[in-house]
Amino acid sequence: MKRIAGMLVLLIALFAGSEAFAKDGSFEKAVRYYLKKDFRNAAEYLKQYIAEKPDPAAYYLLGYASYKLKRFDEANAYFAEAYLIDPAISPKTERLLKESH
């Protein structure tokens, strides 16, 4: 239950963050697909988004989408990339919790 709550906090923070929106809205679409549990489409839009902007939050969410699709090696690679950009990224980080308010 804590994991689900943490993921929801992360998604809200990612969705609300002003840096999270690409010009074409691919991040916004990805979050909508992820919340609908359509991880394939979420992953596709996240890949488009990170091609334009290497955002650690997008890599992190792409890691979760890949994990849900049972693409564990891909998931690990995306999580690693997120941590390279922002070593403090996590659903529990204070920064993300502050951004969601």
Domain boundaries, the chain: 2-99
Fold topology of 2-99: 1.25.40
From the number of C-beta atoms within 10 Å of its C-beta (0-12, 13-18, 19+), residue 5 rates as exposed
* CB neighbours of residue 31 within 10 Å: 21
Closest CA to 61 of 12, 2, 5: 12
The SS3 call for residue 8 is helix
Alpha helices by DSSP H, listed for the chain, are 2-16, 26-35, 39-52, 56-68, 72-85, 94-99
Q: Which two tokens stand for residue 49?
A: 């988004």
Q: What is the pLDDT of residue 90?
A: 79
* pLDDT tens for each residue of 30-85: 989 999 999 999 999 999 999 999 999 899 999 999 999 999 999 999 999 999 99
Which pTM does this prediction carry? Answer: 0.69
